[in-house]
Amino acid sequence: MIDPRIFKIELREGRERTIKSYVLRSNVLDDKGEKVLEEAGKYVVYYEDGTLLNSRTLFGNDKPLIIEIGFGMGTATLEIARNRDAYNYLGLEVYLDGVIKLLKRLNDASLSNLKVMRFNAVDVLEHMISDGSIAGFHIFFPDPWMKKKHHKRRLMNPDFINLLIDKLDRGGYIYFVTDWVEYADEVLSLFNGNERIENPHKGFAPHIQWRPNTKFEKKGLEKNHEVREIWVEKK
């Protein structure tokens, strides 16, 4: 039996709400997807209002918890979790295809420090994550919403950045990567204007060696896109 909660991705579906940073393309599971979900069910976390998520409740240990927002197909997510096993990871994604693909890889790899949640990140952070409890956030290649009229849909805005900072432990980090230079400049400016965080690199960061390149990133580089990385820490 498939848990119907896998098809619900936000608290206010069907109602007016703040502008979304995503557009849902598909919400249907085929037979293969259902099989993956059944086999990898232990790696899935479902939204429960008021239930707090942390390493103890998710993994039964006290390793620092990292949250990745929008993991896409999850290739980098899985590799980072495998290679940086001193941390626990919770991956948030609204696109069902990416969730199923990562669950399939995760089940094959049998990792014990990564779980997946299909739900809107803002709702999860606001209602299921305690302030000061997260060691880091990974936000890799979010949709840049390239047309100027769509910039209001961009994930990274002052309110969302302050929400991330609220949830970070002191010294916790936000690691942001994009191949859209104008978006990178905008986010760097937003970070520089926030007195609650500091940038140890003073500008864009060098490539962090433990973040693997993905197929998406390689395609961007082949089109002469310039990858920009930003690393900031909570004071």
Enzyme catalytic residues: 143
CA distance 64 to 89: 9
* CA proximity to 109, closest of 90, 138, 83, 135: 83
Order the strands of the 168-178 sheet from edge to edge.
44-45, 114-117, 88-92, 65-69, 134-140, 168-178, 228-234, 197-198
Residues 125 and 142: their CA atoms lie apart, in Å, by 17
Token pair for 54: 């942390």
Q: Are strands 134-140 and 114-117 parallel, antiparallel or unpaired?
A: unpaired
